[in-house]
Amino acid sequence: MSLSSTLYLFFLLLVFFVYYLLPHRFRWVWLLLAGYFFYFTWQPFYLILLASSTTVAYGFGRLVKQFKSRFTLWLGIGLLLLPLLFFKYYAFLNQNLTHLLGFGGGVNPLPAWSPVVPIGISFYTFQAISYLVDIRRGYLKPERHFGYFATYLAFFPTLSAGPIERAKRVLTQLRTPQPFRYENAVAGLQLVAWGLFKKVVLANHISGLIDPVFVQPGAYSGPVLYLSLFLIPLQIFCDFSGYSDIALGSARMLGIRLMRNFDDRVYASPSRIEFWKGWHISLTSWFRDYIYFPLSKQLRSRNGLYLNLMIVYFLTGLWHGATWGYILWGLLNGLWLVAEHATKEQRQVFFRRIWPDLNAPLHRFLSILLAFHVGMFTGVFLRAPSIGATWSLLGGLFSKNRWHVTDLATLKPFLPVLMALGLMDLINRQLKNRELPELIASYGGFSRWSFYLIVCILILTFGRISDSPFFYYQF
C-alpha cells in the first residue's frame, strides 16, 4: 500500500491505537507484524529477501564484533549486497553485455531475464550495511535481541523509501518505553497532512502535466517544454519530501523520531554544494560516512578528493537505478560539484568586483537561479523515461521554431500548480529550520485552524488520494 493511499491511513490509525494499548514489552512484536504486513501488501514473495537480509545482518553483526576482522565485515557486506545487485542490476548488466559481445561477434551466455526489483531493497540493504560498519568501527554494540533488530529493518514508515536510518538511533528508541503523548499524536498527524498535500495536490498534478510532454515532446511549444523542465525538480521534491513527511509523521505518532531527509527550501539553494547538503540527507550522509570519508583517508590531495567526489556521485546515480540516464545524472552532478569546489576562490574574486557584498539580494537571487537551472537540466536525466526522450526534449527546447508561436491555452493548466507551489514555499519560508509542528504551534487558534482547513480542503478537492506510487519507490 502506498503511503498516500486511504488504505494506509486506516492502517496507520490501527497500528497507532493498538500500539498504545499494548504493554511496552510487546510493542516490538506489533510493529514487526505491521512492517511485514505492510511489505506483504506490496510483494509477498519478496518478504523472504527482507527476512534473509535481517538474519544475515544480525548474525554478521555478532561475528564482526567477535572476530574484529575486515574479512568478516566484507563477507557480511557482500552477502547483503548480492540480492540488491542481482535484482536491481542483472538486467542492465545483461543488456550491455549482449551489446558488447554482439559487436565482437560473440554470444552472451547469460539468460535474458528482467526480475521485478523488490521495493525498498536499496534502503534496508544500506541500513543493514551501516549497522555492520558501525559495529566494526566501535560506534555500536551488536543488538542481542533479534526481534528489535528485525523491527528496525522492517519499520513500516521507512521500509519502502527511507529515510535510511542508523541502527543506534532507532534501536534506542524502540527499546525505550514511549508513553502516549498528545503532542506527538498531533505533530505526527500534521506532518502526515503536510506530506499528503505535497504528494497528492502538488506532485501528482505536476506529474500529470509533464508526463505527456516526455512521451511526445515534439508536440509542445518551447514555453511548455521550459515549464515542464522547470517543474521537474519541484515535482521530485514535492513527491519525495512529501513521502518523508508522511514517514516522519507516522513514526512521530508512535513516539519515534526519524531524521529529517530534506531542508525546507532546498530547491532555493544558492549553490549545488548547498543543495546536496539538504537533499535526501539520509542518502548523502550515508555516502559521506561510508564511501567518501574512507576514500579520503587514502587520497588526501585536492585531485584525490575530486576523484572521490566523482566516485560518490557515480555511485549515487547507480544507486538510483541501472540505466545510463541515472549514471549520467550522477556524473553530471559530480562534475558540477568538482567545478564549484575547484573555482571557489576565483569566483569569489570575480564576483566581488561586481558586488562587493556577496550576500547582496541580487547576487543571491542570481546564484539561486543558476543552481536551480543546473538542477533542472541535470534532473531531466533522472526524470525522463530514456536518454532518447531527454535529448528530444532538450532539442525541442533549444529549437527556434518552437518559440515563434505559443498557444496560451496550453499554459493555463500550469497556473494552479504554480500558485499551489507558491503556497508551499510561503509555508517553507516561515519554517526557518523549525519543524512544521513547531511553526503551527506558534500560530494563534484562528490561524492554526485556518491552516488545517485550507490544507484539508485542498487535499479533498484537488488531491488524488490513491495507490499512486511515490517516485522513489522505484529506487
Kindly write down the DSSP assignment for every residue of 351-396, as one continuous string. HHHH-S-TT-HHHHHHHHHHHHHHHHHHHHHHHSSSHHHHHHHHHH
In a domain, 431, yes or no: yes
| Dist CA 261 CA 285 (whole Å) | 10
| Grid cell for residue 76 | 557480511
Q: What pLDDT is stored for residue 231 in this prediction?
A: 93
CB atoms within 10 A of CB 372: 20
pLDDT by residue (tens digit) across 425-468? Answer: 988 888 877 888 888 888 877 778 888 888 888 887 776 555 56
| Grid cell for residue 393 | 526534449
| Dist CA 210 CA 51 (whole Å) | 38
Amino acid at 88: K
| Dist CA 429 CA 424 (whole Å) | 9
Same domain, 104 and 206: no
pLDDT-based confidence at 475, cuts 50/70/90? low
Most confident of 160-169, 382-391, 407-416: 160-169
Same domain, 82 and 171: yes
pLDDT by residue (tens digit) across 276-323? Answer: 999 999 999 999 999 999 988 877 788 888 999 999 999 999 998 888
Among 161, 179, 197, the domain-final residue is 179
Same domain, 253 and 155: no
Cα-to-chain-centroid distance, residue 470: 10
In a domain, 253, yes or no: yes
Same domain, 158 and 188: no
Same domain, 129 and 250: no
In a domain, 383, yes or no: yes
Same domain, 227 and 327: yes
Same domain, 123 and 194: no
Q: What pLDDT is stored for residue 289 in this prediction?
A: 95
| Tally of domains in the chain | 2
- pLDDT over 90, % of the chain: 52
Same domain, 168 and 202: no
Helix (H) / strand (E) element for 459: namely helix 445-462
Most confident of 217-231, 292-306, 321-335: 321-335
Q: How confident is the model over 32-50, as a mean pLDDT?
A: 93
Same domain, 277 and 259: yes
**DSSP 8-class letter at 464:** -
Whether the predicted pLDDT of 126 surpasses 80: yes
In a domain, 283, yes or no: yes
Q: What pLDDT is stored for residue 388 in this prediction?
A: 78
Q: What pLDDT is stored for residue 27 in this prediction?
A: 96
Which residues lie below 8 Å from residue 108, measured CB to CB, with a gap of 6+? 94, 97, 98, 101, 102
What is the C-alpha R_g of the chain? Answer: 23
Cα→Cα distances 399→217, 220, 264, 379, Å: 12, 12, 35, 20
Same domain, 109 and 194: no
| Dist CA 118 CA 243 (whole Å) | 18
| Dist CA 404 CA 102 (whole Å) | 45
Name the burial class of residue 218, with classes exposed (0-12), middle (13-18) and buried (19+) by CB atoms within 10 angstroms of its CB.
exposed
Question: Contact at 8 Å (CB) between 108 and 37?
Answer: no
Largest Cα–Cα distance in the chain? 74
Amino acid at 116: V
In a domain, 310, yes or no: yes
Among 128, 147, 179, the domain-final residue is 179
* Mean pLDDT score of the chain: 88
Question: Contact at 8 Å (CB) between 54 and 153?
Answer: yes
Same domain, 68 and 30: yes
In a domain, 1, yes or no: no
Question: Contact at 8 Å (CB) between 56 and 76?
Answer: yes
Q: How confident is the model over 12-19, as a mean pLDDT?
A: 96
Among 131, 157, 179, the domain-final residue is 179
| Residue pointed to by grid coordinates 524502540 | 174
In a domain, 44, yes or no: yes
Lowest mean pLDDT among 51-65, 81-95, 236-250, 408-422: 408-422
- Helices 445-462/182-196 angle, 10° precision: 40
Cβ-count burial 275-287 (b if 16+ within 10 Å, e if not): bbebbbbbbbbbb
> Which residue from 156, 152, 184 is spatially nearest to 168, judged by alpha carbons?
152
Cα→Cα distances 90→12, 114, 185, 269, Å: 35, 7, 43, 37
Same domain, 289 and 436: yes
> Which residue from 120, 154, 475, 439 is spatially nearest to 317, judged by alpha carbons?
475
| Residue pointed to by grid coordinates 510487546 | 26
| Dist CA 333 CA 310 (whole Å) | 9
Domain residue limits at 105: 6-179
